[in-house]
Structure 1
C-alpha cells in the first residue's frame, strides 16, 4: 500500500481515458496522478494505490524493497523497485465521505502510443519505445510498417479420387558417387560409418587431444592413436544399447556386469585417460567470440559430410527443432515446455522424408536478425536460402512459420506449408470453429501475395498457412475419426493440405526417433559433451539410412553392432598376467609339517609371503611358496 498527499496530484495534464483494455501499472498511475487535475482527486484528503495480485506467469517471490520504504514520499517514488512499479494497481481516495475506490485505470495499445506521443516534448526523441502486452519492445515505426492485407474466402472443393497426392519417397532415384562405389564392392556397415569418421579426421582428433593434454595437464607423455580413438567411439556406441549405471563397470571381473569385448580391447585406465583428454579444436587458435569454438571443427566437419552424402538433394524437406539433454548450467542451454526432452541444447534440423538429417545448426543464443522476422523464420531463411533447390516443398511447424516468411520464400520459388500461431496471422478474419461440428473447414486467400490460411476443427482447431498456388490448396478430402455419438469411426472432412503436411513432417519425427533410440549414455562433465554426443548419434543415424539403400531390412541395432564389434575386436590387447596365486592352502599338511628339507631358496620374481603376505624374493624349496627367511620356521611348525 502506498500513499501520497493532496498537493502531489495536481498538474497541467488531464486524464482523458478510463475505459481502456489493460490495467495501468503502479509507475504509470503515479505519472498520471502527478499530472492530473481531476476534481475527485483534488478534493481527496489522501490517495491510496492498491497493488493488484500479480500475474501467475510473473516471478514475484523476491522482495525488491524493504517494508519501511513502501511509503511514497517525494524523494522515493522511484525507489519502489522494478517489480512493484511494473505491477498493476487501482486507486482508492479518502475524503470526508470516507474511503471509496475509483474505476480501475486501464488503457489499450493505441492509447498507450498516443499518451506517449503527447508526453514527448518537441526536443525529445521522435521514436518512443513502448511495451506490448507480451512484454516485447516495439516502436511506433515498427507498428506503422505492418502490411495491410486483403483476404477473400476460398471456395473449397471435394478432391477427386484420381487426383494424386504428393509422393513422399524414402528412396532416392540416384545414389551419390561414393555410395555407388560402396554398393559395387559390397561394403559393410563399418565402411558407411567411416564415411562420416574418416581416418584423416580421426588423426586430427588425436593431434588436438595430445595438445590439450599437454596444455591442460602438462602431460607430455600422453599419446593416442587413431585405432584407440575408434575404440573409444565404439565403446560410446555400445553404451547406447548395453547400458550400465557406471562406466567403470564395463571392466569389472564379476560375471553380472563384465563386458569381455571392452575389457579385452582397451584397459580401463587408458580409456579414462583418453576420454578425459578428448578434444576437437586448438585452444590457442580459436575465435574467442565463437560460442561453440570447442567443437566448431567437429560441427563444420559433420555439416559438410551430411550435405555431401545427401546429394542429389530431394524435393521434399521438413524443418524441426531437436533437443539433446543437458542439465548443468550453461548460457546455451534451452528449456522447451511440453517436449520429451525439456532441458538441453537446441538444434535446428533440415531433414529428408526418410529421416536423414541434411543440414543442422545449433542455437547459440541471441544474435542479430531481421526485425520483421521471428526467430524461427530467421533460422528458416538461413538454412533454406541458397541451398534448397527451387520448387521444393518444405514442411515446418508453427515455431518457424509466419506470413512474411511465406512471402519471401515465394519470391525465391520455394513452397512452404506449415501450422501457424494465431498471433501471426495478422488479424486475418478466420472463423472460430470451436462450436461447429468436427471436420468444419474455413479458408482464406490473400489477394496480393496468394498466401492461403486454413482453419480445421479436429480434436482442436488447427490453423495452417501456405504459399502454394496449385489446385490442391482448395481441395478437401476425408479422414477417419472416432465418433463418441455414433460409437464408431466416421468420415469427416479434412483439407488436402493437412494430409500433405502430416506426410511431409514425418522426416523430423523419424530422425528424432532414430537418434534417441540408442543414445550414448556415457556422460562427461564438459559443457560441450552433449554436442559431441549429438554429432555421433546423428552420424550413425545417417549412415544407417544410407546403408538401408543397399539392405532395406537391416535394423538399426544390427547395423550398430556391425560397427562396434569390428572396432573392438581389432588388435585385441593381451590379457594382463595375473598375480601368482598363493599355494599355501594347496600344500598338503603332512608335507608342510614333516620338518624335512624345507630350505630357503632365492626366487627370480617377487611374490607374497605365505605367512605375513609382504613382498618377498625367497621361497621354500619344498613347498614352493614365498616365505621370508624369518618366516620359514614359524610357517612349518604346527
Structure 2
C-alpha cells in the first residue's frame, strides 16, 4: 500500500501545468501547493527577535535541471533553497531556487538578484517591532540595508568591498599589515539611513555593514598564534560578535536534519528529495 501511495501521489493537477515556453511557467508547479502549505504552517509560529536568511542544500543525485553544484558545501549536489530562520533553528519561510523567481512586486525596488531574495523572504516580518535580520556577503548590499531600515527591520551582514560605493575603508593590502585585532569603521548617511561599515583583521580581513550596531564596545577574544604557538587575546568589534551569535540558524537546521536523516531512497520521483526532507 505504501509503495502504491509513493507511485501515485500528486500535489497538483498536471493537466493545468503550463508549457515551458509560456512566460508564467513554474518549474515547481508539481509541488507548489506543498511549498505554500509548509510556509503557511511555519508562519503560524511567532517570529523570534533575531532572524537570519541563508542558503540550504537538499542533497540529491537525481537528474533534474533544478539540481545545483556548490563545491563549498558538505553536500555539493542538491536542490538549493533560501530559508528564513530563527537562531533556535526553526524555519519560518522557505523558497526553493528555480532561477525564475526573481519577481519584484509593484512599489518595491529592484536591488539585484541576491538582495531581492532577502527582500522577498522578509516581507512577512512586521515593521518597527525591533526585529533584527542577519545575512552573509552573498546577499548584502547598501541599498538592501537602506530598504529594510526604511521598512522598520534592522539588519547586519558581511559585505564585499565592491558592493560599497566610494568605499572609505582601508584596502585589504593595507589592513593585512596591521596587527591582529585591528579594526576601523566608517559611518555614512545613505538616503537618510545611517549605515556603519567596519573592517576587522582576524586571520583574514572581514568587512561588515549594519544599520543598528557599531564597532563599540569591543570585547577581548582568544585566538591561536601560529608563530608563537600559544593563545593570545585580541580586540573584537561588537558588530562581529553580534553577527557570529545570530547568523547560524540555517546551519542549525542542517545539523538537526543530519541527525534524523531518512534512510528511504526515492525511486525516480522528480521532487522526491525535496518532499522527503521537509515532510
TM range (shorter): 0.7 to 0.9
Q: Which residue of 2 aligns with 1:534?
A: 277
Q: Which runs of 5+ in 2 are unaligned?
A: 20-24
In the alignment, does 2:148 pair up with 1:414? no
In the alignment, does 2:72 pair up with 1:338? yes
Is the contact between residue 155 and residue 211 of structure 2 (CA under 8 Å) also seen in structure 1?
yes
The alpha-carbon deviation at position 275 of structure 1 amounts to 1.9
Is the contact between residue 402 and residue 420 of structure 1 (CA under 8 Å) also seen in structure 2?
yes
The alpha-carbon deviation at position 430 of structure 1 amounts to 1.3
Q: Which residue of 2 aligns with 1:296?
A: 32
Q: Which residue of 2 aligns with 1:376?
A: 114
Greater share of helix residues, 1 or 2? 1
Alpha-carbon displacement from aligned partner over 1:44-103 (angstroms, at most 9, x marks no partner): xxxxxxxxxxxxxxxxxxxxxxxxxxxxxxxxxxxxxxxxxxxxxxxxxxxxxxxxxxxx
Please show how residues 204-215 of structure 1 align to structure 2 within 5 Å. none
In the alignment, does 2:206 pair up with 1:462? yes
Alpha-carbon displacement from aligned partner over 1:335-367 (angstroms, at most 9, x marks no partner): 223111222111111111110111111111134
Specify the SS of the correspondent of 2:15: coil
The alpha-carbon deviation at position 473 of structure 1 amounts to 4.3
What is the CA–CA distance in structure 1 between the aligned matches of 2:140 and 2:123, rounded to whole Å? 15
Q: Which residue of 2 aligns with 1:199?
A: none
The alpha-carbon deviation at position 532 of structure 1 amounts to 0.5
What is the CA–CA distance in structure 2 between the aligned matches of 1:374 and 1:517, rounded to whole Å? 36
What is the CA–CA distance in structure 1 between the aligned matches of 2:219 and 2:18, rounded to whole Å? 54
The alpha-carbon deviation at position 286 of structure 1 amounts to 4.5
Is the contact between residue 481 and residue 490 of structure 1 (CA under 8 Å) also seen in structure 2?
yes
Higher relative contact order (CA 8 A, sep 6+): 2
Specify the SS of the correspondent of 1:451: strand
Alpha-carbon displacement from aligned partner over 1:20-61 (angstroms, at most 9, x marks no partner): xxxxxxxxxxxxxxxxxxxxxxxxxxxxxxxxxxxxxxxxxx
- Where do 4+ consecutive residues of structure 1 move more than 6 Å? none
Alpha-carbon displacement from aligned partner over 1:572-623 (angstroms, at most 9, x marks no partner): xxxxxxxxxxxxxxxxxxxxxxxxxxxxxxxxxxxxxxxxxxxxxxxxxxxx
What is the CA–CA distance in structure 2 between the aligned matches of 1:452 and 1:534, rounded to whole Å? 39
Q: Which residue of 1 aligns with 2:181?
A: 439
What is the CA–CA distance in structure 2 between the aligned matches of 1:349 and 1:375, rounded to whole Å? 16
Indicate how the Cα distance of structure 1 residues 366 and 423 shifts in structure 2: closer, same or farther if over 3 A, else same: farther
Among candidates 344, 347, 350, match of residue 84 of structure 2: 350
Please show how residues 508-527 of structure 1 align to structure 2 within 5 Å. 508-521=250-263, 522-527=265-270
Is the contact between residue 355 and residue 507 of structure 1 (CA under 8 Å) also seen in structure 2?
yes
Larger Rg: 1
The alpha-carbon deviation at position 422 of structure 1 amounts to 2.3
Among candidates 469, 480, 483, match of residue 225 of structure 2: 483
Please show how residues 386-425 of structure 1 align to structure 2 within 5 Å. 386-390=124-128, 391-425=130-164
Among candidates 236, 244, 260, match of residue 494 of structure 1: 236
Greater share of strand residues, 1 or 2? 2
Is the contact between residue 315 and residue 389 of structure 1 (CA under 8 Å) also seen in structure 2?
no
What is the CA–CA distance in structure 1 between the aligned matches of 2:267 and 2:97, rounded to whole Å? 21
Please show how residues 51-90 of structure 1 align to structure 2 within 5 Å. none
Please show how residues 20-169 of structure 1 align to structure 2 within 5 Å. none
Q: Which residue of 2 aligns with 1:232?
A: none
The alpha-carbon deviation at position 322 of structure 1 amounts to 0.4
What is the CA–CA distance in structure 2 between the aligned matches of 1:294 and 1:477, rounded to whole Å? 51
The alpha-carbon deviation at position 325 of structure 1 amounts to 1.3
Q: How many residues align?
A: 263
What is the CA–CA distance in structure 2 between the aligned matches of 1:527 and 1:374, rounded to whole Å? 30
Indicate how the Cα distance of structure 1 residues 389 and 341 shifts in structure 2: closer, same or farther if over 3 A, else same: farther
Q: Which residue of 1 aligns with 2:6?
A: 275
What is the CA–CA distance in structure 2 between the aligned matches of 1:276 and 1:386, rounded to whole Å? 36
Indicate how the Cα distance of structure 1 residues 368 and 518 shifts in structure 2: closer, same or farther if over 3 A, else same: closer
The alpha-carbon deviation at position 372 of structure 1 amounts to 5.0
Indicate how the Cα distance of structure 1 residues 451 and 412 shifts in structure 2: closer, same or farther if over 3 A, else same: same
RMSD over aligned Cα, in angstroms?
A: 2.0
What is the CA–CA distance in structure 1 between the aligned matches of 2:184 and 2:80, rounded to whole Å? 35
Alpha-carbon displacement from aligned partner over 1:152-172 (angstroms, at most 9, x marks no partner): xxxxxxxxxxxxxxxxxxxxx
The alpha-carbon deviation at position 519 of structure 1 amounts to 2.1
Q: Which runs of 5+ in 1 are unaligned?
A: 1-269, 537-638
Task: Please give the TM-score of this superposition, normalised by the length of structure 2.
Answer: 0.87
The alpha-carbon deviation at position 387 of structure 1 amounts to 3.0
Indicate how the Cα distance of structure 1 residues 532 and 368 shifts in structure 2: closer, same or farther if over 3 A, else same: closer
Is the contact between residue 372 and residue 404 of structure 1 (CA under 8 Å) also seen in structure 2?
no
What is the CA–CA distance in structure 2 between the aligned matches of 1:426 and 1:342, rounded to whole Å? 33
Is the contact between residue 321 and residue 348 of structure 1 (CA under 8 Å) also seen in structure 2?
yes
Q: Which residue of 1 aligns with 2:22?
A: none
Specify the SS of the correspondent of 2:29: coil
The alpha-carbon deviation at position 508 of structure 1 amounts to 1.7
